[in-house]
A and B are shown apart, each in its own frame.
Chain A
Amino acid sequence: SQTIHQWPATLVQPVGSPLSLECTVEGTSNPNLYWYRQAAGRGLQLLFYSIGIDQISSEVPQNLSASRPQDRQFILSSKKLLLSDSGFYLCAWSARQRTNEKLFFGSGTQLSVL
Protein backbone atom coordinates (compact mmCIF):
# COMPACT_ATOMS: atom_id res chain seq x y z
CA SER A 1 0.00 0.00 0.00
CA GLN A 2 1.03 3.57 -0.54
CA THR A 3 2.23 5.80 2.26
CA ILE A 4 3.39 9.37 2.43
CA HIS A 5 5.88 10.62 4.99
CA GLN A 6 6.42 14.24 5.88
CA TRP A 7 8.83 15.71 8.40
CA PRO A 8 9.41 17.39 10.71
CA ALA A 9 6.02 17.56 12.39
CA THR A 10 6.72 20.91 14.02
CA LEU A 11 9.38 23.51 13.41
CA VAL A 12 10.19 26.83 15.03
CA GLN A 13 12.57 28.98 13.05
CA PRO A 14 13.83 32.57 13.38
CA VAL A 15 13.16 35.10 10.68
CA GLY A 16 15.88 35.01 8.05
CA SER A 17 16.85 31.41 8.64
CA PRO A 18 16.68 28.74 5.90
CA LEU A 19 14.01 26.07 5.61
CA SER A 20 13.88 22.55 4.32
CA LEU A 21 10.79 20.36 4.59
CA GLU A 22 10.89 16.89 3.14
CA CYS A 23 8.20 14.60 1.82
CA THR A 24 8.55 11.06 0.49
CA VAL A 25 6.03 8.67 -0.98
CA GLU A 26 6.27 4.90 -0.85
CA GLY A 27 4.42 2.18 -2.69
CA THR A 28 3.80 4.00 -5.95
CA SER A 29 5.79 5.30 -8.88
CA ASN A 30 5.51 8.46 -10.98
CA PRO A 31 3.16 10.21 -8.58
CA ASN A 32 2.05 13.80 -8.93
CA LEU A 33 3.31 15.67 -5.88
CA TYR A 34 1.99 18.80 -4.23
CA TRP A 35 2.81 21.28 -1.49
CA TYR A 36 -0.10 23.06 0.15
CA ARG A 37 -0.09 25.68 2.90
CA GLN A 38 -2.88 26.22 5.39
CA ALA A 39 -3.08 29.46 7.35
CA ALA A 40 -4.64 29.22 10.79
CA GLY A 41 -8.38 28.52 10.51
CA ARG A 42 -8.32 28.70 6.74
CA GLY A 43 -8.49 26.42 3.73
CA LEU A 44 -5.56 25.03 1.80
CA GLN A 45 -3.61 26.98 -0.80
CA LEU A 46 -1.64 25.15 -3.45
CA LEU A 47 1.98 26.30 -3.51
CA PHE A 48 3.75 23.90 -5.88
CA TYR A 49 2.99 20.83 -7.92
CA SER A 50 5.23 18.43 -9.76
CA ILE A 51 4.50 15.86 -12.46
CA GLY A 52 8.03 14.46 -12.58
CA ILE A 53 11.65 14.74 -11.50
CA ASP A 54 12.87 18.34 -11.75
CA GLN A 55 9.47 19.40 -13.12
CA ILE A 56 8.08 21.96 -10.69
CA SER A 57 5.33 24.47 -11.19
CA SER A 58 4.61 27.29 -8.80
CA GLU A 59 1.09 28.50 -8.19
CA VAL A 60 1.79 31.71 -6.34
CA PRO A 61 4.79 34.02 -6.15
CA GLN A 62 6.43 33.65 -2.79
CA ASN A 63 9.52 33.29 -0.71
CA LEU A 64 9.55 29.52 -1.10
CA SER A 65 10.87 27.07 -3.66
CA ALA A 66 10.39 23.38 -4.29
CA SER A 67 12.54 20.63 -5.73
CA ARG A 68 12.04 17.03 -6.74
CA PRO A 69 15.43 15.34 -6.93
CA GLN A 70 13.95 11.84 -7.02
CA ASP A 71 10.68 10.41 -8.29
CA ARG A 72 9.12 10.07 -4.85
CA GLN A 73 10.82 12.90 -2.99
CA PHE A 74 9.54 16.46 -2.79
CA ILE A 75 11.31 19.20 -0.86
CA LEU A 76 10.08 22.62 0.15
CA SER A 77 12.77 25.19 0.82
CA SER A 78 13.49 28.78 1.61
CA LYS A 79 16.76 30.67 1.82
CA LYS A 80 15.42 33.26 4.26
CA LEU A 81 12.16 32.77 6.12
CA LEU A 82 9.66 35.57 6.62
CA LEU A 83 7.09 35.92 9.39
CA SER A 84 4.39 35.41 6.76
CA ASP A 85 5.76 31.95 5.98
CA SER A 86 4.28 30.64 9.23
CA GLY A 87 1.56 28.07 8.70
CA PHE A 88 0.72 24.43 8.35
CA TYR A 89 2.36 22.80 5.35
CA LEU A 90 0.95 19.70 3.78
CA CYS A 91 2.51 17.46 1.17
CA ALA A 92 0.23 15.36 -1.00
CA TRP A 93 0.37 12.93 -3.89
CA SER A 94 -2.01 11.64 -6.53
CA ALA A 95 -1.79 8.97 -9.17
CA ARG A 96 -0.47 10.14 -12.51
CA GLN A 97 -2.82 10.37 -15.48
CA ARG A 98 -5.93 9.45 -13.58
CA THR A 99 -8.62 12.05 -13.76
CA ASN A 100 -10.45 12.93 -10.60
CA GLU A 101 -8.02 10.94 -8.54
CA LYS A 102 -8.09 11.99 -4.92
CA LEU A 103 -5.10 13.49 -3.20
CA PHE A 104 -3.47 11.65 -0.32
CA PHE A 105 -1.98 13.95 2.27
CA GLY A 106 0.92 13.69 4.67
CA SER A 107 0.54 14.48 8.34
CA GLY A 108 1.73 18.05 7.90
CA THR A 109 4.40 20.35 9.33
CA GLN A 110 3.46 23.20 11.65
CA LEU A 111 5.97 25.97 10.93
CA SER A 112 6.30 28.94 13.27
CA VAL A 113 8.58 31.75 12.18
CA LEU A 114 9.49 34.04 15.06
Chain B
Amino acid sequence: AQKITQTQPGMFVQEKEAVTLDCTYDTSDPSYGLFWYKQPSSGEMIFLIYQGSYDQQNATEGRYSLNFQKARKSANLVISASQLGDSAMYFCAMRELMFSGGYNKLIFGAGTRLAVHP
Protein backbone atom coordinates (compact mmCIF):
# COMPACT_ATOMS: atom_id res chain seq x y z
CA ALA B 1 0.00 0.00 0.00
CA GLN B 2 1.12 3.49 -0.71
CA LYS B 3 1.91 5.76 2.18
CA ILE B 4 2.96 9.33 2.88
CA THR B 5 4.76 10.30 6.09
CA GLN B 6 5.31 13.78 7.45
CA THR B 7 7.22 13.46 10.71
CA GLN B 8 7.16 17.11 11.77
CA PRO B 9 3.84 18.04 13.37
CA GLY B 10 5.03 21.62 13.81
CA MET B 11 7.89 23.81 12.65
CA PHE B 12 8.80 27.42 13.18
CA VAL B 13 11.11 29.69 11.25
CA GLN B 14 12.27 33.25 11.45
CA GLU B 15 11.00 35.59 8.79
CA LYS B 16 13.30 35.77 5.73
CA GLU B 17 15.01 32.48 6.56
CA ALA B 18 14.65 29.21 4.67
CA VAL B 19 12.82 26.18 6.05
CA THR B 20 12.59 22.53 4.99
CA LEU B 21 9.46 20.47 5.52
CA ASP B 22 10.04 16.73 5.39
CA CYS B 23 8.06 14.17 3.45
CA THR B 24 8.82 10.52 2.83
CA TYR B 25 6.74 8.14 0.79
CA ASP B 26 6.42 4.48 0.13
CA THR B 27 5.24 2.97 -3.12
CA SER B 28 6.00 0.03 -5.36
CA ASP B 29 4.71 1.85 -8.42
CA PRO B 30 7.56 3.09 -10.66
CA SER B 31 5.39 5.93 -11.94
CA TYR B 32 4.06 8.37 -9.40
CA GLY B 33 3.65 12.04 -8.69
CA LEU B 34 4.30 14.04 -5.57
CA PHE B 35 2.47 17.24 -4.63
CA TRP B 36 2.67 19.84 -1.91
CA TYR B 37 -0.36 21.81 -0.79
CA LYS B 38 -0.68 24.73 1.62
CA GLN B 39 -3.72 25.09 3.86
CA PRO B 40 -4.04 28.48 5.58
CA SER B 41 -6.43 28.99 8.48
CA SER B 42 -9.24 29.69 6.01
CA GLY B 43 -9.21 25.99 5.13
CA GLU B 44 -8.71 26.14 1.38
CA MET B 45 -6.08 23.88 -0.13
CA ILE B 46 -3.59 25.72 -2.32
CA PHE B 47 -1.39 23.81 -4.75
CA LEU B 48 2.29 24.71 -4.42
CA ILE B 49 4.50 22.37 -6.40
CA TYR B 50 4.60 19.05 -8.25
CA GLN B 51 7.37 16.47 -8.86
CA GLY B 52 7.06 13.52 -11.20
CA SER B 53 8.94 10.32 -10.47
CA TYR B 54 10.70 10.47 -13.83
CA ASP B 55 11.56 14.15 -13.69
CA GLN B 56 15.30 14.61 -13.92
CA GLN B 57 15.41 17.93 -12.13
CA ASN B 58 13.99 19.06 -8.84
CA ALA B 59 10.84 21.12 -9.23
CA THR B 60 10.86 24.82 -8.41
CA GLU B 61 8.03 27.36 -8.22
CA GLY B 62 9.11 30.78 -7.09
CA ARG B 63 10.19 30.54 -3.44
CA TYR B 64 9.22 26.87 -3.31
CA SER B 65 11.52 24.05 -4.33
CA LEU B 66 11.23 20.34 -3.92
CA ASN B 67 14.28 18.37 -2.79
CA PHE B 68 13.52 15.06 -4.50
CA GLN B 69 15.70 12.13 -3.45
CA LYS B 70 14.25 9.14 -5.23
CA ALA B 71 16.51 6.49 -3.72
CA ARG B 72 15.62 7.68 -0.23
CA LYS B 73 11.96 8.11 -1.20
CA SER B 74 11.86 11.63 0.14
CA ALA B 75 10.31 14.78 -1.32
CA ASN B 76 11.06 17.62 1.04
CA LEU B 77 9.63 21.09 0.48
CA VAL B 78 12.04 23.99 0.82
CA ILE B 79 10.62 27.47 1.32
CA SER B 80 13.18 30.20 0.86
CA ALA B 81 12.94 33.70 2.35
CA SER B 82 9.98 32.86 4.59
CA GLN B 83 7.19 35.40 4.90
CA LEU B 84 4.60 35.85 7.62
CA GLY B 85 1.96 34.76 5.12
CA ASP B 86 3.64 31.38 4.83
CA SER B 87 2.26 30.41 8.24
CA ALA B 88 -0.11 27.52 7.49
CA MET B 89 -0.48 23.76 7.38
CA TYR B 90 1.51 22.07 4.64
CA PHE B 91 0.53 18.72 3.17
CA CYS B 92 2.56 16.34 1.08
CA ALA B 93 0.53 14.12 -1.24
CA MET B 94 1.19 11.32 -3.68
CA ARG B 95 -0.76 10.29 -6.74
CA GLU B 96 -1.86 6.72 -6.57
CA LEU B 97 -1.61 4.40 -9.55
CA MET B 98 -3.82 5.49 -12.39
CA PHE B 99 -6.71 3.28 -13.33
CA SER B 100 -8.83 3.41 -16.46
CA GLY B 101 -10.76 6.66 -16.56
CA GLY B 102 -7.74 8.78 -15.78
CA TYR B 103 -8.63 9.99 -12.36
CA ASN B 104 -6.02 11.33 -10.00
CA LYS B 105 -6.35 9.93 -6.52
CA LEU B 106 -4.11 11.73 -4.10
CA ILE B 107 -3.22 10.30 -0.73
CA PHE B 108 -2.15 12.86 1.85
CA GLY B 109 0.25 12.97 4.76
CA ALA B 110 -0.83 14.20 8.18
CA GLY B 111 0.61 17.65 7.55
CA THR B 112 3.12 20.02 9.16
CA ARG B 113 2.08 23.27 10.77
CA LEU B 114 4.54 26.02 9.94
CA ALA B 115 4.75 29.19 12.02
CA VAL B 116 6.78 32.11 10.68
CA HIS B 117 7.97 34.49 13.38
CA PRO B 118 8.84 38.16 12.72
Contacts and interface: CB of A to CB of B under 8 A. Distances in A.
A51 B102 contact: yes
* Size category of the binding interface on chain B: 20 to 34
A100 B108 contact: no
A21 to B, nearest CB: 14
Contact of A110 (B43, B50, B91, B109): B43
B102 A103 contact: no
B28 interface: no
A106 B101 CA distance: 22
A20 to B, nearest CB: 20
Contacts, number: 70
B105 to A, nearest CB: 6
Given A43-B110, A49-B103, A51-B101, A100 B44 contact: no
Contacts of B104: 32, 94, 99-103
B107 interface: yes
Contact of B33 (A59, A88, A92, A100): A100
Interface in B94-118: 95, 98, 101-111
B47 A107 contact: no
Given A32-B104, A51-B101, A100-B104, A43 B111 contact: yes
Interface string A2-28: 000000000000000000000000000
A100 B102 contact: no
A99 B102 contact: yes
Contacts of A94: 103-104
Interface of A: 32, 41-46, 49, 51, 59, 88, 90, 92, 94, 96-108, 110
Given A32-B104, A90-B43, A103-B104, 19 more contacts: A41-B111, A43-B4, A43-B108, A43-B109, A43-B111, A44-B45, A44-B108, A49-B105, A51-B103, A98-B102, A99-B33, A100-B33, A100-B104, A103-B45, A103-B47, A105-B44, A105-B45, A105-B46, A108-B43
